[in-house]
Amino acid sequence: MSLMVSISGIRGIVGETLSPEIIKKYCFAFAKYSKFGTIIIGRDGRQSGKEISNTVAKYLTSAGCTVIDLGIVPTPTVQIAVEHLHANGGISITASHNPNQWNGMKFISRTGMFLNADENKIFWDIAENDSIAESEIKGDHVFDASFIERHISAILNLPQINLEQIRNKKFKVALDCVNAAGGIIVPALLEKFGCEIIPINCDVSGIFSHTPEPIPENLTALCDLVKKEKADFGIAVDPDVDRLVLINEFGEPFVEEYTVTSVIDFILNYESKQGRNFGSVAVNLSTTRAVDDVAKKYGAQVFRTAVGEINVATLMKKENCVIGGEGSGGVIFPELHIGRDAIVGIGLFLQYLTESNKSASELKKALPQYFISKGKIDFTTGNANKILKIIEEKYCAENITTIDGVKIDFADSWVHLRASNTEPIIRIIAEAKSIALANSLVDIFKTELTSHF
């Protein structure tokens, strides 16, 4: 297994592919890229995080940077801090949804957004080609524990949020934060909203109680808890709290695609009520067509781009989108900041649920109904791009998009095949009007891809 280097930063196995030498290389490069200024750092709470955080701070300060350390915080909290403190950049020490033996670094520009493709090219060139010496004058390493509360306060002060109205609902919420950064901020947020919280895996020990990616097969304990405690709904987040997954009152997945769809519906409706021209929405290629149906209802335009937060965020900024995100449960609300943020997603969903006077399951049923199926195959022994080119040529008579792998749009369904930015796999995502057809499309293309290795 090699170090994963992508637009999403770097990830590797701690002590193996993510070694102190690798951390030093990328810290020194980021120090130079950031003009040896102030760098914000934070970590997702996994067990290796504290040691790596101290190592990152050591190398950045030895290069002459000032380091402001937020401790255990969500990645979006680091992004907000970079923006609010006018820092030169930020590093979130996280491997996102990867297992505990992994860790990594997500690099944040002075805008509070991740480095885009052009910025990464400059950064990677520095990392590979520049020799950077330690500074004679060491930078300071200071701690700032205020940004959890500042993040929460920013959400409570959004004009779309009616705190008293939500508090009157007295929602009962089951919660799974996989013993990582969400275990600090999510209960604090829900308490502000007057929710009764039934938590599991919120001790921030960094010991993941299950595979940390918040997908249905990893959330059976949360689903059971919702049913047992008769909760109004359940919440799950990934270790660095940029993805929000919901469970309805029957202990069934709300489906992460519909996290984004529901929030888009809420914000477009809010903009409509304000009498504003609410403009446009941006999502990635793998996000449900339900977004298009919702946007059409309000006369809003939908833009689609390659998978990856920075790709969606960059497009949102360019097109002045009011809302967007990724179908994996990544809500991006630029009024707060242009980055995926489970915390703002929770606030907006609570307001949507409150105003709807529906249960979570009823709210989901009121949205356009599609079914997504996902699969993957390992490509460590083959050339992913070559194989995807074969698929593209075979289906050239269909509506093909190739800005990120190959997406094939059929009349009533679609399939998206792409090499992951974070793992050595080809992801297969299919959507149709029935789960049977979506599953069938995944199986068909899994067989096709495998046949070419």
Distant-in-sequence, close-in-space partners of 88: CB < 8 Å, separation ≥ 6: 34, 35, 37, 38, 39, 65, 110
Give the pLDDT confidence score for residue 383 in this predicted structure: 78
Tens-place pLDDT, residues 240-281: 999 999 999 999 999 999 999 999 999 999 999 988 876 799
User: Is domain 171-247 given the CATH code 3.40.120.10 in the classification?
Assistant: yes
Determine the pLDDT at residue 96. Answer: 93
Going from N- to C-terminal start, the domains of the chain cover 4-150, 171-247, 256-365, 371-451
> What is the predicted pLDDT for the residue at 114?
97
421 pLDDT exceeds 70? no
Confidence at 7, pLDDT banded by 50, 70, 90: confident
Extract long-range pairs of 17-26: CB within 8 Å, 24+ residues apart.
18/52, 18/102, 18/103, 18/104, 20/55, 23/52, 23/55, 23/56, 23/59, 23/105, 24/55, 24/59, 25/127, 26/105, 26/107, 26/127
129: buried, middle or exposed (CB in 10 Å: 19+, 13-18, 0-12)? exposed
The CATH superfamily holding the domain 371-451 is Alpha-D-phosphohexomutase, C-terminal domain (3.30.310.50)
Does the pTM surpass 0.85? The reply is: yes
Q: Is the pLDDT of residue 147 over 70?
A: yes
Which residues face 415 on adjacent strands?
Answer: 408, 430
Cα distance between residue 292 and residue 286, in whole Å: 12
- Residues of 298-326 as b/e, b for ≥16 C-beta within 10 angstroms? eebebbbbbbbbbbbbbbbeeeebbbbbb
pLDDT, tens digit (0-9, with 9 covering 90-100), for 19-40 = 999 999 999 999 999 999 999 9
Q: How far apart are CA 423 and CA 420, in angstroms?
A: 5
**217 DSSP assignment:** G
Q: Which tokens sit at 141?
A: 């390493």
Identify which of 169, 110, 91 has the alpha carbon closest to the alpha carbon of residue 354.
Answer: 169
Give me the architecture of the 256-365 domain, per CATH.
3-Layer(aba) Sandwich (3.40)
CATH classification for the domain delimited by 4-150, as one of 3.30.1330.60, 1.10.10.60, 3.40.50.11540, 3.40.120.10: 3.40.120.10
Radius of gyration over alpha carbons of the chain, in Å? Answer: 21
Closest CA to 201 of 221, 217, 215, 173: 221
Q: What residues are annotated to the active site?
A: 96
Could you give phi then psi for residue 70, rounded to 5 degrees?
-90, -10
What confidence score (pLDDT) does residue 380 get? 64
First to last CA, the chain: 19
Instruction: Pick left, alpha or beta for residue 251 (phi over 0 → left; psi -120 to 50 → alpha; otherwise beta).
Output: left
DSSP 3: P
Take residue 160 and report the two structure tokens written for it: 């779309």
What is the pLDDT averaged over residues 348-356?
Answer: 98
